[in-house]
Structures are given as C-alpha cells and as structure tokens.
A and B are shown apart, each in its own frame.
Chain A
Amino acid sequence: MPSQPPLPPLLASYVSNLPDSSLTLVSSILGATSNWLVLRFLHAALSAPNPNVAFGSDEPQNGIKKKVVLVSFMRSYEFWRTEAKRLGLDLARLADKQQFAFIDGLSELFYAPQATSTPPSISPAGLGSPRTTLPMRSPPGAVPGRSPQPVPTARGVRGNVTTKAEPGIAKKLQFSGRGLASLDALEKDISSVIEQQKSSMEDGDELLLIIDQPDLLLAATGPSMGIGATEISEWITALQQSAHATVLTLATDAPLIQNASTSDVKMATPLETEHAALVIGLAHRAQSVMQLRTLDTGAAKDVSGVLRISRGGGLNTSEKENLEEREALYFIQRDGGVRVFGRGES
C-alpha cells in the first residue's frame, strides 16, 4: 500500500487553522483511540511549511509561527516522541526550539516514585485563597458528596516541585491534596509552561493547547475528592484563556455516557454521571466535535474506524458555514500512516 501523506487531505482543513479561542473536542472509545488524530493536530501546527502539502490545507503563511503545548494524562513522552517521528516530526528538536512543550501527566500524577521527596511545603499562602469565596454555580446537592464545598487545603500542594531535568519534558504534573486547591496547583503548573512558551512569541503567533484525556483526572478523583464535572470544566476554561486554540480528547464510551441517562433502571454511579456531564457540557461549548468510533459492523481488514466531524454547540451562526459536517472512514496502516476516505471510496 502506498505510503500516505502525513496529513490526509480530507482532514487538513479540520485540523489546521483552528479559529481563535476555539475548543475542539476529539472523542474516542475503547478500540478507537485518538492518538493518531492528536498527532495530526501536532503535525498541522508544527511541520515546516512545505510545497508538497496537498491543496486546500492552508499551511501557516506569512510568518505565523505556531507553538504547541501538549498535556498528556495517559501516555508517556516516549510514546508521543516515537509516534511523531514516524510523521517526520522531531519533538525533541522542536522542544529545544521552544516550539513545543510536553507536560507529563502520567508518570508522577498520583504516585511520585521518590517517596522521600520534599516534605510538603507549609501553606503557600496564596495558593487557594482566591477561590475561598464559594463560586456561584450548580444547585446545591446536585452531586452527593460535593455539597460541602471543599475547603482549599493548601497543605500538601506541591506546586513548584523542581522537576528533574529530563529532556523534552517541560513539567511533570503531580496531583496532591483534594478539591479545587489541587486543580489550581495543576493549572498553575500548566500555565507556567504556557507563559514560558509565550515569552518567546511574537505578535500573531499562535499557541495551540492540546490536553489528552483530562477526563482521567475526573474519573480518578471524583466527587468524593471534591472534584466534579463543573470543577474540571472550569479548570479547562481557565487553561483555554491563555491559548489560541484548545483541543481536548475525551472518552465517550457508552458506559460512561449512557448510564447516566437511563435513570431509574439502574443507579448511575457518580463516576458515570460526572463523566457524562463533563463530556456533554464540553461538547456544547466546543466549536467542533470529532468523534472516533469503531465500525458498527465489527472489525474489518481495511478500516480502523469511523470519524465523524460535527459542529459543536459553541459555534455561532456566521461560523457555521465554514465547518462542513461529514463522516468518513479511517484506516491506520502498520507504518503509522492514516488514510481517511469516504464510505464507498477505497
């Protein structure tokens, strides 16, 4: 099979030139992962303009430089680096050139290997205080367990742990404490990297923020730790503000979405209700939703899954014409190349 262009032509207009302050949602399910699509976003933003790209993909012209900050909660830097290399992107070099920054949300998020590390710094006074006034939102008691609004426990927040100088990794996130304070600390870590990237930006340059599976953060903490869909969603909003465009990947497996709506047959667990609330809420805010799923008819030799691109709820009417909704099949080849094609085409 001939090798594919790194960026399938059909996809090019959707993954490049994301509108200003836009939110793009990539949803995946078990068996139809979103990694390849994230890599296409990376490629669209980071690859050097090159005369061979397919028509219709408006590559960065007139000197607009793009930067990417990738926050990954499910995969290691090693994974992204090797996979990007197959597309011809050298993430290590791009990181050196300050065009790319990787934030590691996997290796030390919940369990830091060096258990004997810094003792928790004693009350960094500023850390939770801006939010001690209870935010006005969500009718009380909507989620059991969240009603006593978590008091920001500044204790144990390891905000500025000096990370080891590992090449390519800008920061390793560590989750500690509970409730809003812990999210604030993560937010601070991420925005510090974003600011660092921005410091070398000129006017007109664009920064793309990709957060890979922030829903993990919700699933692995949950209302009992003072974190619900609302908190995560606000956390994302806060991060969105400093980026030109934001891409999120989320899991939308049926058990995570549908259990919450079939109310009376079976009690939905807080995990399910919160997840559904987060995903649906974000889909309404997003400009476009790219949904990945497996074929309904089972596995096929030459099709990996279905990609559906639809307008999100956050699109205003004037933008609606620009985004054409469509559904296509995709096939991930052994060499990592991806073909995207319409049904019936080969």
Chain B
Amino acid sequence: MSFRKRNISLSPGVDRNAVPNATAHPAAPVSTPGIRPSPDDGRPTTSTGTRSLDNLLAGHAGLPMGKILLVEENGTTDFAGALLRYYAAEGVIQEQKVHVIGVPEQWGRSLPGLIGSVESLDEKRSDRRKDDRMKIAWRYERLGEFGAVAGSRDAPNNHGEQDAAAKEAPAFCHAFDLTKRLTHPSITNMSFIPLMPSRESPFLAILKRLQTEITSSANTIHRIVIPSLLNPTIYPPNACQPEHVLQFFHALKALMSAHGTRVTAMITMPLSLYPRSSGLVRWIELLSDGVIELCPFPHSADAMATSGAATSQEEPPQGLGVYSEPPAIRD
C-alpha cells in the first residue's frame, strides 16, 4: 500500500492545487452586503429577491455577478414582472444602484414591501401559512437549498442560536409582500432610464447612460432591470429589429463582462408576442447567461389536482418554471 494519493495524474505542468479555485474571479469586496460567494465555485453572487429562484441558479444559490438572467413568460399573466419587482426590491434593500429601463417611475413605487430577511421568517413558517410570498413550483427539487441547511432544517433544534446568527450576518435574501409597498430610504436612489424615440437604435441612449453611471461609480453594485423587453407599449417599433436589439444585448454583455463583479441584470420578455420558435428570441437567449421560461397553468380549480408538487400545506402551484439553460453555470 503506497501512501501516495491515487487519482492524481502525473502530468506535469498542471498546478493541481490551483485548479479548484482557478475561477479566479476578482474577489468582490467581501464585506459588501448582499453579496456572498457561491457554494459551488466561490464566485460572488447576489440574491434575486426570491429564494426559491436563487436556489435554482445552477447551485450558486444566487445570481452570479456579471450575468444576465432572462425570464420569459407565456400568456397574459405577469409572474415574471413580480419576480422582477422582487429583484429590484432586493436591490433597493441591499443599497445597490437599481437601473430600471423603459418604464416610468410609477413602476418603482409598486415594489413589494419588506417583511424581513428570509432566515428570520423561516422560524415562523411552521406556525403560519405563508400566503404572501410568491412561490413557484420548480421541477428541480434535487438542487438543494443552500440557505436551508443552516436555516429551516436546524430550526427546530436551536432556535436561539439561529436567531442570533441571523442577526449577526447581514441578510442575503429578503422576503417581500406583494400586497404592501416598499418604503426604504434608498428607494429614491433608483434610476429610471426612459426610452427616447429616435431614428437610430432606441437602445443607444440607454447604453450610454448605463455605461457612464456604472463606470463613474467604482464601488457600488448595480442592478439592471428591464421589464417586458420589446413590449410594443413600451418600445418603439424599430426596437425589435435584430440589428437594434441584438446589438444592444451584445453591448450589454460586453458591459457586464467589463464590470463583471459589480453588475447583474434581469430581463423579462413576453413570449406571446415573441415566440421562442423565432430566430430573434433564440439569439436573445443565446446572448443571455441564463434563461427561465415561465409557463403559467390556466387558472382553474383542478390546478391542485394536476400537480404532484402541491401538498395540503402549500399553495397550489400557479405555473411551471422550465429552464432552458442552466443559468450561468459556467457560461
């Protein structure tokens, strides 16, 4: 029996020790609230404001910095818009700079109200049916909940300890109430970038503004929120020409990769207007880092019966989340 470890290839030149952490993402300031390293490979991530969505993001338990998450939705419901509001609200709470594109400031006033950090709520979960948080019946249960290990599973045993821990560490993800309105001092800090009608690409002005705001503030974390991309009530008709929207996505991707530790973006798109079977949408998906498609069930009483995921304790699922690309897994 030799004492040498097996499974170590003898090829020279590869520094084995360096490999596991070789995804040397320039470390974001560790103390930044709202950012934590991914349990998967240590890259900095931030919360989307919805913990069940965080847990789906390819084991990172959050949206990795520098990535674009595209949420597509079928039908006339606006679950994607709700997700987006949670994402924006989380950004406000974490005092990140939130840029909202194409919608008036009214949108910012309808952000969901804060209940508390997710961790502190976990304890109450057993007492109270939580009707207020948006829940999505994701299919991918085997993707473990990162936060849950420290949270709900241990909760029955050591309430006190956990409580203290929750107070100590700044919360990563908060819980929000869609029926309330968010009030937070930094809510006025959100910037709304309107669409200017122009003969050229309507996105040029947006890019210019994002570029200057992101490069000018070297230490803030930014969130780019784009509700209902290409929706004709918001965007001018020429926006959906491939040379405009795809160039915008490409430039956005370039911007994100240039400031890879400080920016995330979440974009929603109505699939009823732009079906996934079209080449344009496919290119938009290829240019995003993660794609999630929401397929809401037709609202009916038998929704409960059709889904295996629903238990009597939980709300019936309102739709199915299908993800086409493991979001941001390794590009």
Contacts and interface: CB of A to CB of B under 8 A. Distances in A.
Interface of A: 2-3, 5-6, 30-31, 33, 35, 48, 50, 52, 73-76, 78-79, 82-83, 85-88, 106-111, 113, 115, 216, 219-222, 224-225, 251, 253-256, 259, 268-269, 271-272, 275, 332, 334-336
Given A5-B11, A219-B242, A107 B254 contact: yes
B279 A259 contact: yes
Interface stretch (B15-23, B45-53, B178-186): B15-23
B285 interface: yes
Contacts of B207: 111
A82 B277 contact: no
Contacts of B286: 30, 74, 251, 253
Interface of B: 7-15, 18-20, 22-24, 40-41, 204, 207-208, 211, 215, 241-243, 246-247, 250-251, 253-255, 257-258, 260, 276-283, 285-287, 291, 324-326, 330-331
B13 A48 contact: yes
Contacts of B250: 73, 106, 109-110, 216, 220
B254 A108 contact: yes
A263 B13 CA distance: 54
Nearest to A216: B250
A33 B251 contact: no
Contacts, number: 141
B23 A107 contact: no
A220 B247 contact: yes
Given A30-B325, A106-B253, 5 more contacts: A6-B11, A111-B254, A256-B282, A335-B19, A335-B20
Among A5, A83, A85, A221, the most chain B Cβ lie within 10 Å of the Cβ of: A85
B279 A220 contact: no
Contact of B243 (A221, A251, A253, A256): A221
21 contacts: A5-B11, A48-B13, A50-B12, A50-B13, A74-B287, A76-B254, A76-B260, A82-B24, A88-B15, A107-B254, A113-B211, A219-B283, A220-B243, A255-B276, A255-B277, A255-B281, A256-B279, A269-B278, A269-B280, A271-B283, A272-B278
A26 to B, nearest CB: 15
Contacts of A74: 253, 286-287
Given A110-B251, A111-B251, A255 B279 contact: yes
Given A86-B22, A222-B243, A271 B11 contact: no
Tell me whether chain A's interface is mostly helix, strand or loop, or mixed. loop
B243 A107 contact: no
A115 B208 contact: yes
Given A3-B7, A52-B11, A107-B257, A79 B331 contact: yes
A109 B254 contact: yes
Nearest to A77: B257
B215 A30 contact: no
Given A30-B286, A113-B258, A222-B243, A272 B279 contact: yes
A48 B287 CA distance: 34
Nearest to A337: B19
B326 A31 contact: yes
Contacts of A86: 19, 22-23
Closest 4 CB pairs of A and B: A111-B251, A88-B14, A272-B279, A220-B246
Contacts of A271: 242, 279-280, 283
A275 B243 contact: no
Among A88, A110, A268, A336, the most chain B Cβ lie within 10 Å of the Cβ of: A110
Nearest to B281: A255
B331 A225 contact: no
